Structure formats: structure tokens, C-alpha cells
Amino acid sequence: MVDLESEVPPLPPRYRFRDLLLGDQGWQNDDRVQVEFYMNENTFKERLKLFFIKNQRSSLRIRLFNFSLKLLSCFLYIIRVLLENPSQGNEWSHIFWVNRSLPLWGLQVSVALISLFETILLGYLSYKGNIWEQILRIPFILEIINAVPFIISIFWPSLRNLFVPVFLNCWLAKHALENMINDLHRAIQRTQSAMFNQVLILISTLLCLIFTCICGIQHLERIGKKLNLFDSLYFCIVTFSTVGFGDVTPETWSSKLFVVAMICVALVVLPIQFEQLAYLWMERQKSGGNYSRHRAQTEKHVVLCVSSLKIDLLMDFLNEFYAHPRLQDYYVVILCPTEMDVQVRRVLQIPMWSQRVIYLQGSALKDQDLLRAKMDDAEACFILSSRCEVDRTSSDHQTILRAWAVKDFAPNCPLYVQILKPENKFHIKFADHVVCEEEFKYAMLALNCICPATSTLITLLVHTSRGQEGQQSPEQWQKMYGRCSGNEVYHIVLEESTFFAEYEGKSFTYASFHAHKKFGVCLIGIRREDNKNILLNPGPRCIMNATDICFYINITKEENSAFKNHDHQKKSNVSRSFYHGPSRLPVHSIIASMGTVAIDLQDTSCRSASGPTLSLPSEGNKEVRRPSIAPVLEVADTSSIQTCDLLSDQSEDETTPDEEMSSNVEYAKGYPPYSPYIGSSPTFCHLLHEKVPFCCLRLDKSCQHNCYEDAKAYGFKNKLIIVAAETAGNGLYNFIVPLRAYYRPKKELNPVILLLDNPLDDLLRCGVTFAANMVVVDKESTMSAEEDYMADAKTIVNVQTLFRLFSSLSIITELTHPANMRFMQFRAKDCYSLALSKLEKKERERGSNLAFMFRLPFAAGRVFSISMLDTLLYQSFVKDYMISITRLLLGLDTTPGSGFLCSMKITEDDLWIRTYARLYQKLCSSTGDVPIGIYRTESQKLTTSESQISISVEEWEDTKDTKEQGHHRSNHRNSTSSDQSDHPLLRRKSMQWARRLSRKGPKHSGKTAEKITQQRLNLYRRSERQELAELVKNRMKHLGLSTVGYDEMNDHQSTLSYILINPSPDTRLELNDVVYLIRPDPLAYLPNGEPSRKNSICNTTGQDSREETQL
């Protein structure tokens, strides 16, 4: 074997350890060559060029010195003119020869020598092979004219008084000034505005023209009027301003010729300068210029970064941002890469916005544009996504890059980011506040199915309003709805609050109830001093501390409220005088000081062993006294608080043995094992024990595990929830989780069907005829519409088609633009819809930000626009807790100890509670629930709408008895034309009557003819509905589906629904009212040794449940 060590060559001498200690003695024997770079810069010429030209700072000093020399030469010329005595006579020698003192001549010679030497040196350093290019330059020629005569006079003394046009050095000074500004920009590494440079050039050009004209005329008039410098200045100003008084005029032909030449030069040079200035001004108007550093340091401003700015987005931001009083002095700097839109330009010219909004055209990815916007000095930066992009993922990518660029440039600037898809959230976790559109959209759609109009509730809470909408309307529901819409969420420290300071050391439910009873405010949550998490309704076991931050719902915050003390009798009189009926709100001030809630607190023994309910007490007690409600305890009693033992789910014990036999689905409670995207909050919910095979998820196709091909065959006990979407995105996770939340009993879980394509056959197969709700979100393919408002076209038409085919179906959808909500359930000739349209226009003219709120589909919670939640991001600048509270209400986040949003329905057995205050007390004293509002449904009483015209043959045939006519019409004024489908005989008689009218001809008066026209229109509507019904039934028969249960004529045209947020304590409860509750977290504390409750407390209103509502 070969010895490897013998083959290794020895190290070179310079790498031996001995050489490292003793020095590199073997370097002289090394064959390496040391190479020095950039040797060309070591020459004398290159070193001079580096000092005079290349180095910005030294070059700036040289040009500043040159500029000073030129100004000094002009100053010496003016001194020479002022010291010279005017000579007598008109000889031409006075033009060529002047009187110059010896000291003055010495100074001018010195300046000339330095200037000429500098000019020759710079010419030599900038020489590039063409000497004539250097010699024929105008600055070089002017330098030769002004410097060479003085140098010659050194050697020829008789030429010391020779006239030299030294005043032409002003043009050299202008040239030096331009170069100096350029070097200044390079030295400080900043790009100054081109507008500033152009203005500087224009001013310097104008000054040089005037100075040259003054000195030239004064010198040429030495043989004429002998004008002094002031007279020459006067003449030039009068001439160049085109005034021309004529009191001072040149006399000699030379001076006249000089004036003509100067005017020609001005007519050529100045228009060019003005044209360039005008062009730069127009470009500045497009790009927006700069936000000065001085303003950024002395004024507060925020930056809005968008990819494209539309008028709706701009007005929503400005109206919501400036709705807060403390933001009135802030400036808004808009940074957008596109040119300003015409409508946006018109709005920004309004004085109210022109003084506070600055538009800059630029990109957030460029540091120069971020510097123009002074991002490092901004109070906040809002980055909004373009939701109208057809590729929403690409839009999110652009938003992510903008957020990264801003964070890199200004790491201390708070970021408020809007993102579209939830899977992109983890890229911007560093942002201070993030709103994901699809998360909020699907969560609100889901809660709308189980808590009606949750989207409307959240939208009204996050909008800034004074509650003045609808107060001019003659309809009472619009006044109540508009007044309660002014409630918002506010915060205050408990020890600093008048509302809550007296409840320190008492339970949360006690403080919530008594604050509502006394002041009309609704306490919904707190935040501990040592914990950043917000707790919504932490329950009766939570004791209030002085340092707790209280979150409450009210018309205005406490700091803007005034408190007036009244005695009990006065308050009673006021309350009784303001109340006008069982369904109307009292006319009260902003701070409700109600003290006449009829609550009997003496008898507190009406608790049953199974827990308190809203049902009426026994008849024996009823004869003796009014129904009583237990008081809300200051400190919770463990035995009195009934919590939901939802982990064991004892509500399942209520099922009968037959139901248990028929139920094959087994559920378990836990966290989902898989998350569809990074950043989703884990939610405790109902899960299956085993994963369902993928083949069983196809509803329309049978597999080896089941043979069902339609929803009817599955035999679902609860009504369906159908989701019509184009793609199954990750956002659907936030739709399914609230529907499977742990606090919902198993028997109330609705089957969810995802419909990716919605032709009529697929709709019928998936059970649309017996579905509880249908959610429509298919609009992604229309995002590329040329007109932004057309992005909702597909959704609107599809919903209208469903509404016409299945009028009893509850359809919930989301639109991009709030203005398009007027097309939902559109009826072209509905007089009531036209009246609401006029009301919306009037509210918009009054400056309301919630003009769309009176549209019936929005008020009922059947439609909302996700763009309404843009205000949530804007409000978080002032209320940094709003996003967290909204996510807790929607179930997107789950905090241990924090409650959740649910609802309960008022039945006939619950009307003994009578008022909202008594209900508040009943809930707080029994289960610790905190009510926050009412969802009310009323009959729609119309008189002129086509949907309310009923056909009555007897009324038209017997016209003599007018009293009977009036009585008959009053009995039918609320019925719809669809009611006639139950009376075939009436339908047949009506058709005969219509044919008889057509044979008789027009023999009626104008009023009768109008009624006949309405009757014919009603008949047409009925035949159209019958055709649609026959179409649906025929398709169902063709598909082998049963038509039983399909009620084609039952719709919701005769009802309207609306929300009352935090109504006054004296508000009367009505039948079928749905009360929004914030229920304490049952997992936060479960009593030990206490029997689990047998009654379900999580009663939802998404289904037509006939069970008694339990607390």
C-alpha cells in the first residue's frame, strides 16, 4: 500500500508556522505579483477631476465659490456706475471709455484672473477630444469677453478705463446656480421637486434679463439722456410689463436697438420657460407633489394606500374617519399608483376636503414615494385591497408587498391592513390590525342562518351615526329603527365612569342590568388590566375591579353625556307621557333615565328545580300578585346560576327512544383536527367520531355506502342550509364552524349542502323546497366587469330568479356595492319600494352614512355588503378594540371566559315579561345572559301596492252598498294576490268578470278604470306565478321528486323586519320578537356536584321550533 503522507507536497514557505512567527521571509522567492487597481485615478488630472467634478461635496463648494465670484463682479460693476460722474456731451467715446478708479480696477482684475483660471481648468478637465466644443460654449465665450480685457490692461495701462460688459456675468451666475442646485441634490441624496427647479430657473432668467436690460440701457444712454440705474430699472419694468407710460424713453438709436433685441430675447426665452413650468404644474397635479417634512412634523396625518381609488371607497373612508371629533385636525395622504379619477378630483376640490386630503400618485413599493408621503412620520397607514379584481389572490399578493414595503421603510408606523383571502393572513401577522374579508363574510352569512340579521346588527354597530336617520319619516318603525341604529360600542375605565363606578366589587351581570335600568347603557364586556383579551359577558361570577376597562353600547360615549337628576315622581310622569302604545318606543333623551320599570322584587321563590323559564307562573300566584322576577344579585350565588352543561349535552336526553333509534349520527365535541389555512382560530365544536369517505359527500350520486341521490331521501330532521358558491374556498371553514359550535344542541344542527352549480335540477335535488336558508355567494366570475357596479350582476339575477321560483325560501347573500341592495327582491311597480327609495335619497342628502339601512332586505338581514365592514378597519384607528369585539361576536375568535352571540324567540307564554327591562332582569338573574337588541317582524300595511290588491267579485258586482264595500276592503287590505290560489271558484269567477269587462268596454269613471287596471295586473301576476309553479312541479316530477310541501304562493311580501339595538327599558315585547343575547361561556366554570340541566338553553330561530323557549 502506498504511503499517502509521502505524496502530500510540503507547504509553501509563507504558510509555515515558523514563518507566521518570524515573518514572511520567503516572500521575495514567491512568484506571485501584487496588482493594484484603479491606478488611472492616481494621475494628477484624475485627482483634479475628482475634486472639481466627480466628488459631489467638493464640486458643490467650487460652484458656490464660482457663483459668489460672478455676483461680486456684478456688484463691482454697480459700484463703478454709482461712483462715476456723468460726463457732458454726446460723443461716442463715452460708450467705449469709462472712469474706473485704481482700487476698483485692481479688484476687477483679481476677480477676472481667478474666473479665467477656473474656466480654463474646468475646460481642461472636461475635455473629451473636441476642443471646439469647449471653446464655442456660451459660458466660455462670456468668460473670455469679461476677463481677457482686464488681464490685457495689466500689460497695457492705457486700457484700464476700457468699458467691459461685466454685467453679463449675471448669466454666468445663473449657470453656476443651476449646477450648484444639481450638485446639492446629489450631495444630500434626495430628489428635489422638478417644479422647484423650474421655478428657480424661470425667476433667475427673468432677473438676468432685467439686470442686463438695466445696465445696457444705462450705459448706451450715456450719450443721450444720461439715465441713472433707477430710471433704467423703471423703464425696464414698465416695458416688460407691457404698460408703457412713455415718460422715460431711450433717445439714441443704439439704446433703441438694444431694447428691441432684449424684447426679442424675452419673447423667445420666457415662453419656453413658462411652457415647461406649465407642463410640470400639470404633471404635479396628476402626481400630487409632496407632503412637506415641516408639515409632517408639525401636523398629524395618516396615509391611505390603495391600488385604485374609487369615489365610493374614498367617501366611505373620509366620512367614517372624520366622524370622530378628535380626528378633525388630521390630514389624509392618499398614495395610489393610478391617475386621479375625474369624480375623485371633483370631490377633492370641495373646500371641506381640499384642505385635509392630499393625493399623491405613486407606489408604496418605492421608497421615494413613501418619502413623499412622509410615511415615517405618519400616525397610521391603511392598506386596502382591491376587491373588484377577478384574481383575488393576486390582489392579496399586492397588498402583502405593500405591507412589507411600508414596514421596511417605517417600522414604527402602525399598520391597518385589509386582506381578502384567509390563507394569506399569516404573511401580515406583524400588522397592528388585520381585517380578512372572507372570514367576516362567511361568518356573518352563517350567523344569519341561526341568528337572523346578524349582518345588519354588526354593520350598524361598526358605523358611526347619531341615530337621526328616519326621524322625519311618518312611519313609526323607521323612527325606532333609525334611532336605535345610532348605538355604538364605547369603552371607559370603571373607576373613571359615572355609569359603572358604583358597581366596583359587584358581579358583571349586576352592573350590566342596573346600568341599563338607570342610564340606558348596555354593558357587554370588560378587559382586565393584566390581560389583553376582551371578555364578552364573563358571567355573574366575574367581579368588577376599579381598573377594568368596560365596553358598553350606547348612543354616545359617556364623556359626551350630561346627567340630570330627577325625583321618582317626575320620572314616572315623563315616562307615562312619552309612551304612546304597546309597540312604540318612548321619546327619551340620549341618556335614558328610566325609573318606572314595573318589576316586583318581593317574591323571589318562583324558581323551579330545573331552572327558571320565561313561562307564566302558576294560576294561584297570578290571582294574588303580578308575576315576579328574581333580583340580580350583587355577588353571584352558585346555587342560583344555571349554566349550560354543554360538554355532556344533556339536551340529548329529551329525545324519545324512537328518535334515538332513527338517529345514526354520532357526534363528539372537540377542536377540528385540521385547519384549512394558517391563522385560523381553533373553535370548540361538534365533530364526527369517524371521517366520512369522500364518495359519501356527493349528494347527487350514490356510492357503496348509501344509495341516496337527493336530499329528501336522506330524511334530515332539521331544515337544510344550502350554500351556492362558484368555488369551495377556504373561507367556507368560517361558515361551517359557527353552525357546528359546541353551544348548539345536537338536535338543532342543520345539514349544510354546498352547491357549486345551481341549475334548477340541482336546486331541486338538494332540497331547496324545504330548506331553511339559502346562501348565495357566486360572484367571483363577474369581478372583471368593465363597470364596477356590475360585479354584483350575476348574484342579483340569480337571487331574483330564486325569489321568483321559490318565494317562501329565505335567501341570504352578500354584495360588493351597498348601492346594489335596492335590486334585491326587486318589484318594479311596488309603491312601497319606491317610497323607500325616496327616503334613501333624502337621508343621503342630509349627509347620512347609513342611507341604505331602510331597504327592507338589508333591515331584515337578507343582504349585506362586505364593503360596509371597511368602516371596521377605519374605526379601529380610534377604537382599537372593535375588530376583537366583532370577531368574538361572529365566533371567529374564542377566548376562554368570553361569551358568545345567540338568540331567543319570544312566544305567547313569554309575553308576561311585558317590557325589555323585565326581560333584562329575568335573563341576568337566571342564566346571566345579557340582551343587546331585538329583531322585530311586523305586518306590512300598504294601501297602494300592487301586491295588496285582492280580487272580490261580490264587491264589484254589488256597488250599491258602500258600507259593505269598505268593510270588505278593510278585511282584505293586508292580503296578497297569492291568497286566491286557495279558492279556485274565486279564480274562475274573477276570470269571467274580467272577460265581461272587456266586452262591455270602458263605462267606468277614472277611478274605477284605475282599479280595473290594477285588477288586470293582479291577474297577470297570478298567471305568471302559476306558470312558474307548474314549471317547478313538472321538473320535480321529471326528477322523481315528491311535490308535497312545495308552497309556491307563500312569500314574505306582507311582512317587514328590522333591528332595535339596545332599546330603552320601557320597550314593549311583542310576539315573535327575537332577542339577541350574549351568553356567558359555559366552559369557563361548571359547578361541581350540581345536576346537569335537562332543558336546552341554546334555542335558535333559524328553524320553526315549536318548543318553549327556556333560559
- Does 748 score more than 70 pLDDT? yes
- Looking at residue 1015, its pLDDT comes to 67
**Which of the pair, 81 or 1052, is modelled with greater confidence?**
81
- Does 495 score more than 50 pLDDT? yes
Among 640-654, 673-687, 947-961, where is mean pLDDT lowest? 947-961
Strand, helix or coil at 524?
A: strand
**Which of the pair, 933 or 131, is modelled with greater confidence?**
933
- Does 405 score more than 90 pLDDT? yes
pLDDT band at 951 (very low <50, low <70, confident <90, very high): very low
pLDDT one-digit tens code per residue, 796-810? 888 888 888 887 888
- Looking at residue 954, its pLDDT comes to 36
**Which of the pair, 456 or 227, is modelled with greater confidence?**
456
pLDDT one-digit tens code per residue, 685-710? 888 888 888 777 787 777 877 777 77
pLDDT one-digit tens code per residue, 874-933? 889 999 999 999 999 998 888 888 999 999 999 998 889 999 999 999 999 888 999 999
Which range of 285-294, 1022-1031, 1034-1043 scores highest in mean pLDDT? It is 1034-1043
Find the mean pLDDT for residues 712-734: 83
- Looking at residue 868, its pLDDT comes to 80
- Looking at residue 10, its pLDDT comes to 57
pLDDT one-digit tens code per residue, 267-288? 888 888 788 777 777 766 666 6
Which range of 209-218, 431-440, 663-672, 802-811 scores highest in mean pLDDT? It is 431-440
Strand, helix or coil at 982?
A: helix
Find the mean pLDDT for residues 389-398: 86
Q: In what order do the strands lie in the sheet with 535-536?
A: 488-493, 549-554, 522-527, 535-536
Find the mean pLDDT for residues 620-633: 56
- Looking at residue 660, its pLDDT comes to 42
The number of beta carbons lying within 10 Å of the beta carbon of residue 900 is 22
pLDDT band at 1049 (very low <50, low <70, confident <90, very high): very low
- Looking at residue 936, its pLDDT comes to 93
Cβ atoms of 1025 and 978 within 8 Å: the answer is yes
Q: Is the Cα dihedral 462, 463, 465, 468 positive or negative?
A: negative
- Looking at residue 388, its pLDDT comes to 74
Cβ atoms of 484 and 467 within 8 Å: the answer is yes
Find the mean pLDDT for residues 124-149: 82
User: 696 is written with which cell numbers?
Assistant: 359519501
The number of beta carbons lying within 10 Å of the beta carbon of residue 512 is 31
The number of beta carbons lying within 10 Å of the beta carbon of residue 1031 is 13
Place of cell 301596492: 945
Q: Is the Cα dihedral 613, 773, 463, 832 positive or negative?
A: negative
> Residue 937: in which H helix or E strand, if any?
strand 930-939
- Looking at residue 136, its pLDDT comes to 82
Which residues are within 8 A (CB) of 1094 and not within 5 positions of it... i.e. 6 or more apart?
610, 650, 651, 653, 654
- E strand segments, 390-471: 415-419, 433-436
Classify residue 1056 by its DSSP letter.
E
Cβ atoms of 1002 and 1009 within 8 Å: the answer is yes
Of the candidates 431, 428, 436, the one whose C-alpha atom is nearest the C-alpha of residue 415 is 431
Place of cell 367520531: 689
Classify residue 1110 by its DSSP letter.
B
Q: State pTM to two decimals.
A: 0.70
Q: Helix count (H) and strand count (E) of the chain?
A: 38, 21
Exposed (0-12), middle (13-18) or buried (19+): which is 206, by Cβ within 10 Å?
A: middle
pLDDT band at 1110 (very low <50, low <70, confident <90, very high): very low
Distance between CA atoms of residues 882 and 461, nearest Å: 9
Exposed (0-12), middle (13-18) or buried (19+): which is 63, by Cβ within 10 Å?
A: buried
Distance between CA atoms of residues 416 and 39, nearest Å: 54
Among 43-57, 355-369, 712-726, where is mean pLDDT lowest? 43-57
- Looking at residue 1041, its pLDDT comes to 78
The number of beta carbons lying within 10 Å of the beta carbon of residue 607 is 15
Cβ atoms of 52 and 124 within 8 Å: the answer is no
Place of cell 427647479: 197
Q: Taking CA 317 as the corner, what is the angle to CA 315 and CA 322, rounded to the nearest 5 degrees?
A: 95
> Residue 518: in which H helix or E strand, if any?
helix 508-519
**Which of the pair, 114 or 951, is modelled with greater confidence?**
114
- Does 622 score more than 90 pLDDT? no
Cβ atoms of 173 and 71 within 8 Å: the answer is yes
Place of cell 310541501: 1045
Indicate the average pLDDT of the chain: 75
**Which of the pair, 660 or 112, is modelled with greater confidence?**
112
Cβ atoms of 213 and 236 within 8 Å: the answer is yes
pLDDT one-digit tens code per residue, 428-462? 999 999 999 888 999 999 999 989 999 999 999 99
Among 223-237, 627-641, 1051-1065, where is mean pLDDT lowest? 627-641
Of the candidates 418, 374, 388, the one whose C-alpha atom is nearest the C-alpha of residue 400 is 418
Q: How far is CA 7 from the centre of its chain?
A: 76
Query: pLDDT exceeding 90 applies to what percent of the chain?
Result: 19
Cβ atoms of 668 and 649 within 8 Å: the answer is no
- Does 549 score more than 80 pLDDT? yes
Which residues are within 8 A (CB) of 993 and not within 5 positions of it... i.e. 6 or more apart?
953, 956, 957
- Residue by residue, DSSP assigns 591-608 as S----------S------
Distance between CA atoms of residues 303 and 914, nearest Å: 51
- Does 94 score more than 60 pLDDT? yes
Cβ atoms of 496 and 511 within 8 Å: the answer is no
Cβ atoms of 752 and 736 within 8 Å: the answer is yes
The number of beta carbons lying within 10 Å of the beta carbon of residue 466 is 14
| HSE of 665, CA atoms in CB hemisphere, 13 A | 15
Torsion angle of C-alpha atoms 581, 587, 592, 598, degrees rounded to 10: -20
Q: What is the 3-state secondary structure (H, E, C) of 750-766?
A: CCEEEECCCCHHHHHHC
pLDDT band at 304 (very low <50, low <70, confident <90, very high): very high
Torsion angle of C-alpha atoms 1068, 1074, 1077, 1083, degrees rounded to 10: 140
Which range of 743-757, 825-839, 1063-1077 scores highest in mean pLDDT? It is 1063-1077
Q: Taking CA 493 as the corner, what is the angle to CA 491 and CA 499, rounded to the nearest 5 degrees?
A: 75
Which residues are within 8 A (CB) of 375 and not within 5 positions of it... i.e. 6 or more apart?
303, 381, 406, 409, 410, 413
Of the candidates 324, 319, 317, 287, the one whose C-alpha atom is nearest the C-alpha of residue 303 is 317
Q: Is the Cα dihedral 1011, 1012, 1014, 1019 positive or negative?
A: positive
- Looking at residue 522, its pLDDT comes to 94
User: 845 is written with which cell numbers?
Assistant: 342628502
Distance between CA atoms of residues 493 and 488, nearest Å: 17
Which residues are within 8 A (CB) of 605 and not within 5 positions of it... i.e. 6 or more apart?
none
- Looking at residue 979, its pLDDT comes to 39
- Looking at residue 428, its pLDDT comes to 92
**Which of the pair, 1014 or 143, is modelled with greater confidence?**
143
- Does 379 score more than 90 pLDDT? yes
Distance between CA atoms of residues 81 and 98, nearest Å: 9
Residue type, 354: S
Of the candidates 770, 793, 661, the one whose C-alpha atom is nearest the C-alpha of residue 716 is 770
Inter-axis angle of helices 454-462 and 882-890, nearest 10 = 170
Q: Please report, for residues 103, 217, 239, 975, the alpha-carbon distance to residue 110 in angstroms, rounded to integers and kept in the order given.
A: 11, 27, 36, 108
- Looking at residue 435, its pLDDT comes to 92
Distance between CA atoms of residues 648 and 625, nearest Å: 39
- Looking at residue 646, its pLDDT comes to 45
User: 1026 is written with which cell numbers?
Assistant: 302559476
Q: Taking CA 816 as the corner, what is the angle to CA 813 and CA 818, rounded to the nearest 5 degrees?
A: 85
